Structure 1
Amino acid sequence: MATDLSDLIRERGHIRKIGVIGMGYVGIPSAVLFAKVPGIEKVYGFQRNSSSSGYKIRMLNEGTNPLKGEEPGLDDLLADVVSQKIFECTDDFSKISECDAITIAIQTPFKDPRDLIPDLSALEDGIRQTGKNLIPGMLVVLESTITPGTTVGRAREILEESGLIAGQDFALAHAPERVMVGRLIQNIQEHDRVVGGIDEISTKRAIELYQPILTKGKIIPMSATAAEVTKTAENTFRDLQIAAANQLALYCEAMGVNFYDVRSGIDSLKGDGITRAILWPGAGVGGHCLTKDTYHLERGIELAGISTLDFPKDHESLFTLARHVNDFMPCHMLHLVSQGLKCVGKKVSGSRIAILGFSFLPNTDDARNTPTEQFYKMCVEHGAVARIHDPWVREYPGISLSSDIEPVLEDADVLVLMTAHRMYYSLDYNWVKKVMRPFPVLVDGRNIVDPDVLIQAGFVYEGIGRGDKNSYQSDV
């Protein structure tokens, strides 16, 4: 008779049936990759049959990818595992009890962007559904980005409402996703995978789950809380790097110099022990992770802290300050719009503004926390008539979007590049100028166009970090 978790896992044997809760940007590619592992008999994708996302169940079971945008390899993999009947999407959460391992990949958005408190209700519901169907020897892995201390704290509490004890009756771990929309399959296979169990047995079982889907990446084992800190910190550091680039770009504009020349100069310093990694400035930071993970990390001090934080008194965290800088960039875009219009004797109020790009990442339909939404609303608040084009995003609550670019550009006073979609690089800007009103203004938030070419074509140019070119106007 089994007496501890090791015995229970030994009795279950190898992982053969896997459940993935949450059919989104993380859950879908993870599920199809699990289904391709030799020896896996079944992968269930669990999805609530709600009015907003229930359509995914039908599409996935037909072998059709509900995610839009360019995701190399995902469509073919999905069609393959559905045709082989290895993968199935269902809203019957009782099938969790059939699984050897369950992964939970449910978003943790803000309840209200003004108070910056994550909404864990959907995640907790997924954990609770797992707890209701939990059986001895099962592995439960949280992949959602969470506040450090959640796995050993609230998640464990909910699961143990089943009467089973984590570390004794079932394994529990955190293995945070590390994906970027547009290369989901590649990221899951090639990025190193951080795996943190609540104990050594849980970590070992989680490694068994993830090792087979890695092609280049390696497993990095650690504790559950350390894994939570790793995920929130890596996104916080990226946000900090972007903020540094954005702030330097603002400095360059104020001093009339080219950020990209400065960046090249800094990056040219090479040698042992020298690191000068500077990212690119832009019109704002969006997405599900970077916009909130700083606050997860900050709250970890209270949730997972075991001692008092020693930090300069009455000083704002460097990380939250970086968040403020990045949140400011859509405001700066409006400043550039106003600056460009002033050159041709116009104001924002009453002007027509064509906004190109709504998703926060190029060539995808991912519009979560997109900075374009903030920019659009500010334009409208300042009395402008704003129209938005995006080739991938078809609809968004409360905002009208167009996939036809000409009506968006027609009679516009200003063209604003907010997203670096591939098609915007190849636009015929001579044609664009003809469609727009006389003396057009172009504001480049993603370094998409060549300023000299646009200025020669007769545009007033404004660009982030382009202090050497901003407000230039040719005689064309």
Structure 2
Amino acid sequence: MDKLQSLLEERGPIKKIGVIGMGYVGIPAAALFADSAEFDKVLGFQRNSPTSGYKIDLLNSGESPLKGEEPGLEDLLQKVVEKDKFECTPDFSRLGEMDAVTLAIQTPFKDPKDLLPDFSALEAGIRHVGQYLQPGMLVVLESTITPGTTTGMAREILEEESGLKAGEDFALAHAPERVMVGRLLQNIQEHDRIVGGIDDVSTQRAVDLYEPVLTKGRVIPMSATAAEVTKTSENTFRDLQIAAVNQLALYCEAMGINVYDVREGVASLKGEGITRAILYPGAGVGGHCLTKDTYHLERGLQIAKQADLDFPQEPSLYVTARHINDFMPEHMYNLTVEALARINKNIANSKVAILGWAFLNDSDDARNTPAEPYRDLLIDAGAEVKVHDPHVLLYPDVEISQDMEEVLDGVDAVVVFAGHRQYYSLEPRQLQELSGQTHPVIVDGRNVVEPDAFIDAGFVYKGIGRGDKNGHEVK
């Protein structure tokens, strides 16, 4: 009998699970594992650091540190804590008690130009696991990673730290997260789960881990590297779709037409064999995933090119799409400058209110928010900037207010960066009164306001893709 298979049968079914990384992926995953009758205990591992150690007490009291709208999460946390099925701990030595350990740790790029990811946090997590790894355990990477990482770096570190051999003494797999903030529990339960082990035995053990938490979703087994490519490419394709409609929006602005009319027309073409998955344009792309997963995929491609395989020499379509989406905050800045110029105001010394710091509507997730490079451009130009967000309470070096009236008081320009629900009810007369301006500026990056209502009230309006309105007469 295969040595690993024998060890797994000796250990028996997975009963104790460790989840490293108490964030947007790890917290809901741990809660769902703990809620399953198949598992006895789940430990969430969180460093007791100055910046994130506060999560430990919150989670152990059944409270979620994730703010914004996250249906069902806090109720589920309270349930599994009360049943003593979930506990958060900073004691990584307890990893040795687990049957399976998952790692959900961020994997950013310090500088995408060099295609070198910052795996320092992930490496530290893997080393923790390796130090306490026991024969017959399963280790699963859920982080989005460069193709080849599971069978390469992760395997090497685990073997070096433990003295054990992957595929013989312990199981190793990659099962990438596929969640969106605002529907974390639903996504984990209903989305199909990609599971890729370094061998068939590892794959099956990982399947056994994830199947109990799926409701509508199914497990799709494959190799570890194929799973890595699946995750990076699905986010790359979404980024590509967004870039396509953002480019279209820029074209429509230049041609004086409404991108939303064009979008509706394109989306109307339906029928067998027809796919026109056109998304919506906006002020920019944020979040932890889409802003860097293209570079993970591209890095994997660069590694593959070293094998002397024949590839097209054209610039990468995916990286070009990334550049388009990264340009959108700069375009928002250009629209702001143009709008202020129409009322003979210079960006320098102008007062600008940014509405929405989170990258996603009705969320507190501000990772890689496109509002930040926009704010930086304003400050560099000499503008005074205030930020409002109902969900984001704290952000490094940025003061964020939940008082809309205070933020809008005396501003020259109101700029919408997030499609939070409350921004859809903005009233032009109220904004005009708060601003104290006869002709205040509004720049809409998420199509949340009705242009004509603001134009009729005397606003100078600019909107992404609204070439039909951006050149209006000031009333």
Distance 1:99 1:302 in 2: 37
1:35-434 pair list within 5 angstroms: 35-112=34-111, 115=114, 117-161=116-160, 162-303=162-303, 307-313=307-313, 315-434=314-433
Q: Using the alignment, how far apart are the partners of 1:438 and 1:130 within structure 2?
A: 62
Evaluate the alpha carbon distance shift between residue 153 and residue 130 of structure 1 in structure 2; reply closer, same or farther with a 3 A threshold. Answer: same
Asked if the contact 2:428/2:453 (under 8 Å) is kept, the reply is: no
Deviations 1:247-301 (A, max 9, x none): 0000000000010111111111122211111111100000001010011001112
TM-score (norm. length: structure 1): 0.97
Q: CA RMSD in A?
A: 1.3
Q: Is the 8 A contact 1:249 1:464 kept in 2?
A: yes
Instruction: Find the aligned partners of 1:23 and 1:252 in 2 and give their Cα distance.
Output: 43
State the number of aligned residues.
473
- Residues 149 and 305 (structure 1), Cα distance of their counterparts in 2 relative to 1, 3 Å cut: farther
3-state SS of paired residue (1:354):
strand
> Which letter does structure 1 place at the counterpart of 2:171?
A
Q: Distance in 2 between matches of 1:250 and 1:310?
A: 35
The amino acid of 1:468's aligned partner reads D
AA at the equivalent of 2:405: E
Q: How far has the Cα of 1:303 moved from its partner?
A: 4.2
Secondary structure in structure 1 of the residue aligned to 2:109: coil
- Aligned partners of 2:258, 2:309: CA distance in 1, in Å? 40
Identity percentage of aligned residues: 65
Structure 2 gap ranges (5+): none
Report the Cα distance in structure 1 between the residues aligned to 2:143 and 2:305, rounded to whole angstroms. 20
Distance 1:115 1:311, change over 3 A: closer
Report the CA distance between 1:428 and its aligned residue: 2.5
**Which residue identity is paired with 1:119?**
D
In structure 2, distance between residues paired with 1:464 and 1:209: 44
1:147 touches 1:303 (CA, 8 Å); kept in 2?
no
TM-score by length of 2: 0.97
Q: Partners in 2 of 1:116 and 1:4 — Cα distance? A: 38
SS where residue 350 of structure 1 aligns? Answer: coil
CA distance in 1, matches of 2:272, 2:82: 52
* Closer, same or farther: CA 323–450 of 1 in aligned 2, 3 Å: same
Give 1:82's aligned amino acid.
V
- Contact 2:243-2:324 within 8 A present in 1 as well: yes
Tell me if the contact between 2:115 and 2:296 (Cα under 8 Å) persists in the aligned partners. no
SS in 2 for 1:472: coil
Query: Equivalents in 1 of 2:68, 2:2: separation in Å?
Result: 50
Contact 1:15 1:101 (C-alpha < 8 Å) held by counterparts: yes
* 1:111 Cα deviation from its structure 2 partner: 2.8
**For residues 445-470 of structure 1, what are the alpha-carbon distances to aligned partners after superposition, in whole Å with 9 as ceiling and x for unaligned?**
00101111111222111000000001
Please say which of residues 201-210 and 339-348 is displaced more in the overlay.
Answer: 339-348
Aligned 8 A contact 2:387 2:401 in 1: yes
CA–CA separation in structure 1 for the residues paired with 2:179 and 2:261:
31
Letter aligned with residue 5 of structure 1: L
